[in-house]
Structure 1
Amino acid sequence: MTDSWLPSILRSPLAALIGESCTVTLVDKLEILEPHCLRHALSKGLGLGIVLGGCVVKLPQLFKIVKSKSVAGISLSSYVLEVLANVITIAYNFRNGYAFTTYGEAVFIGVQNFIITLLMLVFTGRASLGAVTGALLLVFTYSLFDISLIGGSLLSTLYGLTIPLVISSRIPQIYTIHKNKYTGQLSAFAVFNYFFGTAARLYTTLVEVDDSLVLLGNVLATIANGVLAAQMLYYWNATAPKDKYRLDTKKNE
């Protein structure tokens, strides 16, 4: 390791994140405007921030559901589709050897989405269906990581399908809000975090991942999340019509 003015307790994790060569350039030599390393460091920093944000992005939504015991204004089909997209995304990126900072938020968001999906089933009187859903998801996830069950070409096809899947997961929620003129129990923190996260992910993908499928997926996800964010702002002060948001099994599908 090159002699550095930065204490090793700080330099070591930084080097692990952005690489030794860029640490030497940006930190040790203080060449902070060197184009390649600056882009790389910015991408890594954004990626890490997105992953950390993914750890908590759905917690406000989860807490709102638990506290209110209501899933008013939340689309069950959106969450089911999103969970499927999450696990396929994780498997595709992992098996292709992409850096964890370019997709890691999908792991944490997927877990939170799955918990919320189960809560929605429980609070609409379908706990047994939740157990079956959980078991099927575990089998599907295992298959995605086993190359003998799902080969590389099939996994690429499945990942390609997540692009319309992600968009499809947003459409029911967008339609629900448009129809009700109310965002219900939808978390503003989650919506805006998603939007800014996918927008930042565009940059990290361009810098670190040479994969047109991943790039296209991030572009479309940013657009869809932008629509949800716009709806959240537009209906910010809207109130629920009386008796409109009772728990109803069919209404949340």
Structure 2
Amino acid sequence: MQSDTFLHLANVSTLLVCMVLKFPQIFVLLRAKSTTGISLKSLVLELVGYVVFVTYQVYYDYPSPTYLEYPILIAQDVVLLLLILLYDGRLQDSLKYGVVFVVGWRVLTVEKWIIDFAMSLCTIISAASKFAQLQCLWRSKDAGQVSALTWALATFTCATRIYTTVATTGDVQVLVRFVVMTLLNLWVLLSVLHYGRHRHSTIKED
């Protein structure tokens, strides 16, 4: 009974956090109208990882509470993508991205081996998205408009998903993905905080 309560709390808290996870980053972009420090490559790879992951979960009819937040995250990432393209003067590219994602999503479920193969690459794709953001931070040495709160929330949700995966499906591929994502999200968060402090101290010195 107690384990069921913990599982329910983990699922509900994850869903609630994910409903607003990208809001801090969206608000920062809207206010600054600048994409400094934000990696477009990271966002696109993250979207690919989300689409593959949720498609895999639906394909194998996993319990919906274990992945319900992903359609919400995809919607928020689409908004972020449009804002980044807008402020980078590349809004016309949004149609190209839309076509690629829709076609790719349809292809995933054509054959069982395709979705299985895509899921085997999902952790690598998602990890690559985090490294792309880290590289952007390392190059610029400036957190710019990157929201630390968004990355903190992402770390929390991946950590809770480690527990819910163990308690429900026990899928090793999914579990490994969440462990890796938790560690990488934490790494990005610490980097954002580090470069954010460095930026503020530089401004004070000037």
Q: TM-score, normalised by structure 2?
A: 0.91
CA contact (8 A) 1:86 1:110 kept: yes
Amino acid of the residue matched to residue 105 of structure 1? Answer: E
Task: Give the superposition deviation at 1:117.
Answer: 1.3
Q: 1:126 aligns to what?
A: 90
The residue correspondences of 1:114-193 to structure 2 (distance < 5 A) are: 114-144=78-108, 147=109, 149=110, 151-193=111-153
2:75 equivalent to 1:111: yes
Task: Give the superposition deviation at 1:142.
Answer: 3.2
Amino acid of the residue matched to residue 154 of structure 1? Answer: I
Q: Which whole-Å CA distance do the structure 1 matches of 2:113 and 2:5 have between them? A: 32
2:18 equivalent to 1:54: yes
Structure number with the higher helix fraction is: 2
2:48 equivalent to 1:84: yes
CA contact (8 A) 1:60 1:190 kept: yes
Q: Secondary structure at the match of 2:20?
A: coil
Q: Secondary structure at the match of 1:239?
A: helix
CA contact (8 A) 1:43 1:204 kept: yes
Q: Which whole-Å CA distance do the structure 2 matches of 1:132 and 1:72 have between them? A: 23
Task: Give the superposition deviation at 1:75.
Answer: 0.3
Q: 1:14 aligns to what?
A: none
Q: Which whole-Å CA distance do the structure 2 matches of 1:227 and 1:159 have between them? A: 23
Q: Which whole-Å CA distance do the structure 2 matches of 1:200 and 1:221 have between them? A: 12
Q: Secondary structure at the match of 2:158?
A: helix
- Give unpaired runs (5+ residues) of structure 1: 1-36, 243-253
2:30 equivalent to 1:66: yes
Amino acid of the residue matched to residue 187 of structure 1? Answer: S
Q: 2:169 aligns to what?
A: 209
Amino acid of the residue matched to residue 165 of structure 1? Answer: I
Amino acid of the residue matched to residue 179 of structure 1? Answer: R
CA contact (8 A) 2:36 2:144 kept: yes
How much identity, in percent, do the aligned residues show? 26
Task: Give the superposition deviation at 1:220.
Answer: 0.7
Q: Which whole-Å CA distance do the structure 2 matches of 1:70 and 1:197 have between them? A: 27
Question: Once the two structures are superposed, what CA deviation does each residue of 1:134-187 show, in whole Å capped at 9, x if it has no partner?
Answer: 12212222333xx4x2x2222011011110001000001112222322211111
Question: Once the two structures are superposed, what CA deviation does each residue of 1:211-242 show, in whole Å capped at 9, x if it has no partner?
Answer: 11001111111111111122133234232879
Q: TM-score, normalised by structure 1?
A: 0.75
Q: Which whole-Å CA distance do the structure 2 matches of 1:230 and 1:120 have between them? A: 23
CA contact (8 A) 1:73 1:182 kept: yes
Q: Which whole-Å CA distance do the structure 1 matches of 2:196 and 2:156 have between them? A: 18
Question: Once the two structures are superposed, what CA deviation does each residue of 1:13-71 show, in whole Å capped at 9, x if it has no partner?
Answer: xxxxxxxxxxxxxxxxxxxxxxxx22122112111211121111001111211221110
Amino acid of the residue matched to residue 186 of structure 2? Answer: G
